[in-house]
Amino acid sequence: MFKLFKTKSQVNICAPVSGKIINLENVKDEVFSTKMMGDGFAIEPMEANNIVSSPVKGKVVSIAETKHAVGIQTNDGKVEILLHIGLDTVNQKGEGFKALVKNGDRIESGQPLIEYDRVLMKKKGYDMVTMVIFTKPLNESIDLVKYEGQNINAGDHILNV
């Protein structure tokens, strides 16, 4: 039969960590707050967090040598996401971070990707805000203003793109 209407496929984006949602504009780093790397949102993790999970089903396309950032592409290739863990954590040169996946791995939404030493990061004074950045331009803008300040759990649905 003929398809008269094309259905627009959507990708469900889930929280990679438990914590409080913050608009990207409120992140204390100009690279993220001015959206130089792309649109998205951030989560201020709860004190007990030390695992960052995948917000989508897809494939790991890059893991920073320092293990503080992971690039993910959805299975359909339409959405590319950068998960960036903490501000200035690149300066740790990988110390305190452990990759639980490798480049090329197929992943499920909610699957643990990176584990970090919460105590070490706190002792060194790092802000562990976790950014979810859409690095491939989206057809729509991300509007999470209504969620600003709300607490969420890792794996909770946040939005569709």
Classify the C-alpha dihedral 113-157-119-31 as positive or negative.
positive
SS (H, E, C) the chain: CCCCCCCCCCCEEECCCCEEEEEHHHCCCHHHHCCCCCEEEEEEECCCCCEEECCCCEEEEEECCCCCEEEEEECCCCCEEEEEECCCHHHHCCCCEEECCCCCCEECCCCEEEEECHHHHHHCCCCCCEEEEECCCCCCCCCCHHHCCCEECCCCEEEEC
Active site residue 84: yes
Q: Which listed residue (84, 101, 114, 154) is catalytic?
A: 84
Amino acid at 81: I
Catalytic residue ranges: 84
